[in-house]
Chain A
Amino acid sequence: MKKALSLAVVLATLLAMSALTAPAALAEGETLTMLQRLPATYVVEDNPVIKAWGDLYGITIEIEAPPISSFNDRRNVIMASGDLPDLMYVGDTGALYTQWSKEGLFLNLDPYFNAERTPNAFAVLNDDELFTVKVLNDDGSSSLYSLPRVQTKPQDVIIYRADWLEKLGLEVPTTAAEFAVVVEAFATRDPDGNGADDTFGWSLNTVMGPEHRSLLSAFGTHPMEVPEADGSYKLLQQQPAYIEYLAWCRDMYSAGALDPEFYVTKMYEDDDVFLAGKMGVIYNSKVTEHLAALNDPAGVFQTGNPGAKVVAGPPLRLEGETVADVWYNPQVWGNYAINADSDLIDLALKVLDDGYTDKVNELLLVGLEGVTYTTWDPETRFAFKDSDEIIANATSYCASYATINYQRQDKGLLVATANTPEQLDVFNGTEETVRAAARRVSFLSGNGVPGYGDIQVTITEVGIPDAWGEIRTKYITGEASLEELQAFINDKYVPAYQPLLDLYAAYNDGAGFNK
């Protein structure tokens, strides 16, 4: 009895030791816990795709997916309660992410992010993309605590009513002056021919940020991360070209070309006005891909506006130029971090890194043959589904939200809404034309300070962005004068952001705050 017992103890010790000394790579049969931000349609329980994902490693991947609309509430409780999963979608690159990283809740990826430990992510992610998730250390160096999910976006476009342009004898505008002429004509020359004064040119969407790169490119402003000729840094509001942009908006507003109630517009509501046939231009976060929905004969736009045609124009450019320079920051759709206290760090790292391979990306995005698609063509990235059941399964078991990386950066674009070859042609044709008229300029990793990509102000000045919105909108609607606008910028706005400007200067001057 005693012998048996001691034998058992020895055996157990040996087993424990072998577990400790076993190659760190994979732990068969383990359960990797994971936090994901997934749409409501995604079915987490008994999902064959998640099972297949775990099977790649001989493990179970257990996913918690809080409601997408309140993801942050749940995530913050997780962070404060210490109940972190092994691998988690963070969905924040600002102040909270910095705080959590510095408090040591996330694994510092600096020793791991290299060709050996994370070959796939290392091969794919570029400096600008990595910049968005870097955290600034006190000594001026920066560290990596998560990896970004990146989407290569199709070209930004400004979409116009082609039938209106045709009727009024106008061309697709390429400069600010031409744009102003077109939108004023849309507002005043009855483009829909119904005899009523019920149309306007465009709407400035203040929710998505009215300083859109496709419009600002007509004025030659630059992001604050880009230094002036003398090496100093200037906020957008300090640049004369930006004030010109606001004056341009103001003129269009007083001419009736701009939506008289643009400041009421909530997210995507400007789309509705366009779909209703009341407005001739939409620009905000529109990419070539959106043409497919507008050209769809069964879609809202075509059924509501028979005979309507649309055309995509390039971002506006400076007078006399042939190409628009668009300041482009990488489109990062969240980021993934590893719990610093996880027992499965190696496994989590492997799963995270493999997320940057085609194999895992396509598994999470298009799923399994016969279950969520019938055929899949990696060239055109088109998944064909031949039955209602498969269509339903695809919605339940796959989602772009479920991917670790949105797509392989070197694989080109993901065409989601092209369901027919014709749609694909429209898309490709437009993409080519617009790309010829616009140049994307990256700027983040050059002089940017990591962790300050989202501009932050001190808490006492928390009202400044709101106050700025108020004076800007009042200037555009004519309720405030240029003097009042300038006074606000000089006396309130710039002083509130002075610490940030100083930080940029110190970070880049090479003296005290070395890179």
Chain B
Amino acid sequence: MVLIGRKNKNRVRLRGDDVAVSAVSYTVSAAFALLCFAPFLLVIIYSFTPYDLYLKNHFDFFPSRLTLDAYRMVAKYKYIWSGYRNTLYVALFGTALSMLLMVVTAYPLTRKDLRGNKVIMTLWIITMFFSGGMIPDYFLIRSLGLLNNLWSMILPGLLGCYNLILTRNYMESLPRSLEEAALIDGANDLQVLVRVVLPLCLPILATLGLFTIVGYWNSYFNAIIYLTKRTNWPLQLVLRELVFESGVNELRQGMAAEERATTPFLLKMASIVVATLPIMLVYPFLQKYFMTGLVLGGVKE
């Protein structure tokens, strides 16, 4: 090949294909990243902008006055703190248990010829399309005694077919040699899963862990149906209620005159910041697991 010759001539210096690939990668990624950052930046700026300034100019990145009114109002609201507590509880326990269940369910399914696997997989796929709906679900939760219990937000969504397929698929793509070696050394399947497969699954666990924790963090619908006490509400439901028109109107009635300028719009923006910042902080911790390639020490196919 021609390229081999060229490569030998300048090993470190820039080559045509490198320049092309790098140029495209950096430019497109940066451009798209900035495009995606714009709305988020706007939301943050809006949350500090007095409403009359927002109304005059929707794209003022440097408003002449700033206000903390929206944040003050959010902080005043009594159910915010219990909301944080409940959401943390649901997100942490839910994600941990969900990951555990996902791994032990997915691993046997990677053994394609294990008897019964095909049936189980088909049963799972059917659940992607057919469900009983709100009322039978309610009866189930009621008979389990989980009404008004935070576990009613955790259990029904513990494992979905989508995540299960992705995990199983990922496990299947791993090199089999290590598993086989371990089995031959006399390890049982559970030991193989824990010692050999799991460490290699960090990227997918980080990814689906992220999906799951964000999913639990943002969920609120089960709370509407199963949690009848307001002190049990998760943060997202509390904030959703707060920015709902009537909630704001009631708040405004009890406000001093200078605060009355705060509007549903500002509150909405502030509540996004309040609700998403904590969960976004999780991201960098998980990011490194799916952004850096694994070093498969000792794996030789």
Q: Real complex partners, A and B?
A: yes
Residue of chain B at shortest CB distance from A275: B55
Contact of B231 among A45, A64, A392 (CB under 8 A): A45
- Distance (Å) between the CB of B231 and the closest chain A CB? 6
Q: Is B52 a contact partner of A40 (Cβ separation < 8 A)?
A: no
How many B residues touch A, CB cutoff 8 Å? 45
Q: Interface centre among B52, B231, B244, B245, by most A CB within 10 Å? A: B52
Contacts of A4 in B (CB 8 A): none
Q: Is B230 a contact partner of A303 (Cβ separation < 8 A)?
A: no
Known contacts A41-B251, A81-B135, A272-B55: does B224 contact A70 (CB below 8 Å)? Answer: yes
Contacts of A42 in B (CB 8 A): 250
Q: Is the interface of B mostly helix, strand, loop or mixed?
A: helix
Q: Is B50 a contact partner of A65 (Cβ separation < 8 A)?
A: no
Q: Is B225 a contact partner of A73 (Cβ separation < 8 A)?
A: yes
Q: How far is the CA of A417 from the CA of B255 in the complex (A)?
A: 11
The answer to the question of B233 belonging to the interface, with a C-beta cut-off of 8 Å to chain A, is yes
Q: Interface centre among B77, B79, B245, B253, by most A CB within 10 Å? A: B253
Contacts of A66 in B (CB 8 A): 224, 228
Q: Is A395 a contact partner of B55 (Cβ separation < 8 A)?
A: no
Residue of chain A at shortest CB distance from B137: A77
Q: Is A69 a contact partner of B240 (Cβ separation < 8 A)?
A: yes
Known contacts A45-B229, A69-B241, A77-B135: does B254 contact A392 (CB below 8 Å)? Answer: yes
- Distance (Å) between the CB of B221 and the closest chain A CB? 8
Contacting B at CB under 8 A, from A117-161, are: none
The answer to the question of B56 belonging to the interface, with a C-beta cut-off of 8 Å to chain A, is yes
Q: Is B50 a contact partner of A303 (Cβ separation < 8 A)?
A: yes
Interface string of A78-94 (1 = CB under 8 A from B): 00110100000000000
Contacts of A395 in B (CB 8 A): 250-251, 253-254
Q: Interface centre among A69, A272, A301, by most B CB within 10 Å? A: A69
Contacting A at CB under 8 A, from B208-265, are: 221, 224-225, 228-231, 233, 237-238, 240-242, 244-247, 249-251, 253-258, 260-261, 263, 265
Q: Is A276 a contact partner of B56 (Cβ separation < 8 A)?
A: yes
Q: How far is the CA of A83 from the CA of B138 in the complex (A)?
A: 11
Known contacts A43-B78, A77-B134: does B142 contact A299 (CB below 8 Å)? Answer: no
Q: Is A65 a contact partner of B56 (Cβ separation < 8 A)?
A: no
Contact of A80 among B135, B244, B249 (CB under 8 A): B135
Q: How many A-B pairs fall under 8 Å by CB?
A: 123
Contacts of B115 in A (CB 8 A): none
Contacts of A57 in B (CB 8 A): none
Q: Is A65 a contact partner of B256 (Cβ separation < 8 A)?
A: no
Q: Is A298 a contact partner of B257 (Cβ separation < 8 A)?
A: yes
Q: How far is the CA of A268 from the CA of B134 in the complex (A)?
A: 32
The answer to the question of B61 belonging to the interface, with a C-beta cut-off of 8 Å to chain A, is no
Residue of chain A at shortest CB distance from B142: A81
- Distance (Å) between the CB of B103 and the closest chain A CB? 34
- Distance (Å) between the CB of B178 and the closest chain A CB? 49
The answer to the question of A67 belonging to the interface, with a C-beta cut-off of 8 Å to chain B, is yes
Q: How far is the CA of A302 from the CA of B260 in the complex (A)?
A: 12
The answer to the question of B139 belonging to the interface, with a C-beta cut-off of 8 Å to chain A, is yes
Known contacts A77-B138, A391-B254: does B245 contact A300 (CB below 8 Å)? Answer: no
Q: Is A40 a contact partner of B261 (Cβ separation < 8 A)?
A: no
Known contacts A40-B79, A65-B230: does B250 contact A73 (CB below 8 Å)? Answer: no
Contact of A275 among B52, B250, B253 (CB under 8 A): B52
The answer to the question of B71 belonging to the interface, with a C-beta cut-off of 8 Å to chain A, is no
Q: How far is the CA of A350 from the CA of B231 in the complex (A)?
A: 29
Q: Is B230 a contact partner of A44 (Cβ separation < 8 A)?
A: yes
- Distance (Å) between the CB of B226 and the closest chain A CB? 9
The answer to the question of B76 belonging to the interface, with a C-beta cut-off of 8 Å to chain A, is yes
Contacts of B55 in A (CB 8 A): 272, 275-277, 300, 304
The answer to the question of A462 belonging to the interface, with a C-beta cut-off of 8 Å to chain B, is no
Contacts of A416 in B (CB 8 A): 253
Interface string of A81-109 (1 = CB under 8 A from B): 10100000000000000000000000000
Counting from the closest, the 9 A-B pairs by CB-CB distance are A304-B52, A40-B241, A395-B254, A276-B55, A40-B247, A39-B250, A69-B244, A70-B224, A298-B257
A-B contact pairs, 22 of them (CB 8 A): A40-B238, A43-B230, A44-B229, A45-B229, A65-B230, A66-B224, A67-B224, A67-B240, A68-B244, A68-B246, A70-B224, A76-B134, A77-B134, A268-B245, A275-B51, A293-B260, A296-B257, A296-B260, A299-B261, A385-B254, A388-B256, A391-B254
